[in-house]
Amino acid sequence: MFSGSIVALITPFRDGQFDEVAYRALIDWHIAEGTSGIVPCGTTGESPTLDHDEHRRVVEVCVDAVAGRVPVIAGTGSNATAEAVALTRHAKAAGADAALVVTPYYNKPTQEGLYQHYAAVAAATDLPIIIYNIPPRSVIDMTVETMARLAELPTILGVKDATADLTRPVRTRLAIAKPFCQLSGEDGTALAFLAAGGHGCISVTANVAPRLCAAMHGAWADGRVNDAIALQDRLMPLHTVLFCESNPVPVKYAAHLLGRCLPDVRLPLAALADANRQRVAEAMAAVGLLPR
């Protein structure tokens, strides 16, 4: 069962190419700061603009750099089932611990189509699969009933829930008899998600505040509820500002302010607007990540 603060890791670029040196340094930093898992090639990792060779390389470098210290949950989703199968098989061969498979975007499949898509990916490999349900980006929403049906398959072990619906973890828990890992995909509701029966968060904010995010999850796990609330309150300005423009544009700029990587993103994403650069810097200072 995956739990705690799991980072949806940015993919640093330099001169338009994957910056492997910066990526390895980010991974070492995260592990030292207490991050409990790494997700390469998710939305925050700009997977839509990585070509297949780059995607595979990022996963391979991540597995190699992590070296078994924390779990690696590789993003392998696609709106083409055959492509999702191929990426998931590669993640298994590369040594990932699980695959994060997003609901197929753009095609708008029915619930039956969703079931068959995930069943095909699950049949192709024995790698554990986490469903990534993110209606704002994929348009479609996997119902609790479809998720419960998929949970009957042996390798479907959990969900990254980015619906921001705090009834969802309760309803999912009640609908699925077996242990089922529920990870929030929304930093701003992560603590409430834990209170509703969740196990952790695949986090954007952890890219720049890994120690604080890990501390919040640790406080909750230890039963120090007031400490967890205080940490969530402290982080909230950052949770908010990191979505002032499309993710990962603000968080990459924030990581740049920490000297962790360049702020470069790939088109169609554009550089962070000047006014929002100031907002990000102010939020970082308010949280204590930069001097005031």
Could you read off the pLDDT of 189-239 as tens digits, one per residue?
999 999 999 999 999 999 999 999 999 999 999 999 999 999 999 999 999
Alpha-carbon gap, residue 249 to 30, rounded angstroms: 20
pLDDT value of position 235: 98
Alpha-carbon gap, residue 10 to 179, rounded angstroms: 30
Q: Which of 132, 178, 252, 253 is catalytic?
A: 132
What is the average per-residue pLDDT within 118-144? Answer: 97
Does 132 qualify as catalytic in the annotation? yes
Question: How sure is the predictor about 1, in pLDDT bands with cuts at 50, 70 and 90?
Answer: confident
Does 115 qualify as catalytic in the annotation? no
DSSP class of 153: S
Report the 10 Å Cβ neighbour count for 291: 6
Torsion sign, CA atoms 243, 248, 253, 257? positive
What is the average per-residue pLDDT within 122-131? Answer: 98
pLDDT value of position 89: 98
pLDDT value of position 220: 98
What is the average per-residue pLDDT within 124-145? Answer: 96
Q: Which of 23, 92, 160, 253 is catalytic?
A: 160
Average pLDDT, the chain: 97
Alpha-carbon gap, residue 13 to 22, rounded angstroms: 9
Q: Which domains does the chain have, with CATH numbers?
A: 4-222 (3.20.20.70)
Contact 114, 106 (CB under 8 A): no
Q: What is the pLDDT of residues 7-57, one digit of tens each?
A: 999 999 999 999 999 999 999 999 999 999 999 999 999 999 999 999 999
Percent pLDDT > 70 in the chain is 100
What is the average per-residue pLDDT within 117-136? Answer: 97
Contact 204, 213 (CB under 8 A): no
What is the average per-residue pLDDT within 180-194? Answer: 97
Q: What is the pLDDT of residues 64-84, one digit of tens each?
A: 999 999 999 999 999 999 999
Alpha-carbon gap, residue 71 to 275, rounded angstroms: 37
Question: How sure is the predictor about 292, in pLDDT bands with cuts at 50, 70 and 90?
Answer: confident
DSSP class of 104: P
Alpha-carbon gap, residue 129 to 117, rounded angstroms: 12
What is the average per-residue pLDDT within 173-195? Answer: 96
What is the average per-residue pLDDT within 102-111? Answer: 96
Alpha-carbon gap, residue 91 to 102, rounded angstroms: 15
- Residue 149 phi, psi (nearest 5): -65, -45
pLDDT value of position 55: 98
